[in-house]
Structures are given as structure tokens and as C-alpha cells.
Amino acid sequence: MRENSGFSLKIASSFEDYMKVVAVRSIVYLAGQACPWSEEFDGNDHAATQILGLLDGEPVATARIRWFAGFAKLERLALRPEARGSGHGDDLLRFMIAISQRKGFSCLYLHAQAGLVHFYRAHGFVPHGAPFTFSGYHYVEMKAVLPPRPDELRLDDGPHVLNRPEGDWNRPGVLEISAGRPPAPRQPDKPRA
């Protein structure tokens, strides 16, 4: 992300964040691409990591990532029209790639609208499979195989690192801070009737 651009990205972590995600997708896809609600909100949102982008505090960007055993699937990239053309789309895609790599995924997969193939190609994606159609748009399957990141999360990073809030892996989380608290006194068992 460019310094001082006013643009920031995070993993959605509250109900309010989710409302902002839905608001951006409603503007971009329901209003902007005439996508029916049932196709846009397709039942996969609770199985996904949701990304939220703010420009000067206003929700303008979103996307989601779904996790499969051998690959991550990047979906629903969306920028409100007034926020386009300033490189925030590139920032959004770079953020998704970084999160996926940090979680240990080196194979990334997505469905590119036919006019956006060059946008994804610039980030290392290449066409994969035959073009296809859904929701009134032509799509191209694309995938990227990326080098592993040295800070990829691993099983031996320890319980506290692996307990940290998603996407916020570089600083202590609330559960490891709680480890400094003395254990709660054990409640005596109730006598059996």
C-alpha cells in the first residue's frame, strides 16, 4: 500500500466489518453488474475469510478467500467505482496473496472476468482451463504458483502464535496476554444427588 494514501486493508473481524463488506459488494455487484442477490451471496460467505478495505475510514473495497486443501481461491474482488484507477485494486490483490502465502498456500486460484485477465496476469496468474460463463459474465480460470514465504505459519510456531487473530500474527493476541493471569481456582464438584 502506498504511504499516506489513506487506504488500508484488514481481515473483517466484527459484525460491523461484515456489514461494510456486504455494502461494498451490493454497490459493486448488485448495482454495478446487475448480479442477483442469491448469486452474489451464494452461501459461501461463512466459509470464507473476508477482506475489508477502507479509504479515509470509508468502506470502499472487499474480497474473500476460501481455503481448500491444496490451494486458496480468491473471490469477489470489488472496489467502489470512485476508488478505482488509483492502484487500490493492485493493493487488494497483493494483500490477498500475502495472507494466503503467510497461511502456507503457494497455489492460488481465481476466476477472472475476461476483461481483467491482464490485471491478474500482472500478479503472476496464468490462464488455466477453458473459459466459462456465470452470472452473465465470461470468466477465465487462472492460477498462480508462488514461492513460499519465510514467515509462513507452521505447526511448530507454538500455541500462542497460532491462537492470534487471523491476519494479525505479528503481535501478541488476547489469549497469550491471558496466559499471564493466574489460573482460575477450580470449582468444587457438586455432590451427586
Positions in the binding site for ligand COA (CB under 6 A): 28, 77-79, 84-90, 112-113, 115-116, 119
CB of 134 to ligand COA, least distance (A): 11
Burial of residue 90 (CB within 10 Å: 0-12, 13-18, 19+) is middle
Nearer to ligand COA, 83 or 101 (CB): 83
Cβ distance to ligand COA smaller for residue 23 or 116: 116
Strands 72-79 and 107-113, bridge-based pairing: parallel
Q: How far is the CB of 68 from ligand COA (least distance, A)?
A: 18
Q: Which residue of this chain has its Cβ atom nearest to ligand COA in the complex?
A: 89
Could you tell me the smallest distance in angstroms from the CB atom of residue 163 to ligand COA? 32
- Quick one: DSSP state of residue 134? E
Least distance CB 32 / ligand COA (angstroms):
6
- Residue 168: CB minimum distance to ligand COA, A: 24
140, 117 Cβ separation under 8 angstroms: yes
The two counts, helices (H) then strands (E), for the chain are: 6, 8
| Count of positions (residues) in the chain | 193
Q: Which is nearer to ligand COA, 45 or 90 (CB)?
A: 90
- Choose between 84 and 154: whose C-beta lies nearer to ligand COA: 84
Residue 105 or residue 125: which is nearer to ligand COA going by CB?
Answer: 125
Q: Which is nearer to ligand COA, 44 or 178 (CB)?
A: 44
The HSE-up count of residue 5 (CA atoms within 13 Å, CB side) is 14
Shortest separation between residue 8's beta carbon and ligand COA, angstroms: 15
- Angle 173-47-44 from CA coordinates, rounded to 5°: 145
Helix (H) or strand (E) holding 144: strand 137-145
CB 22, CB 66: distance < 8 Å: no
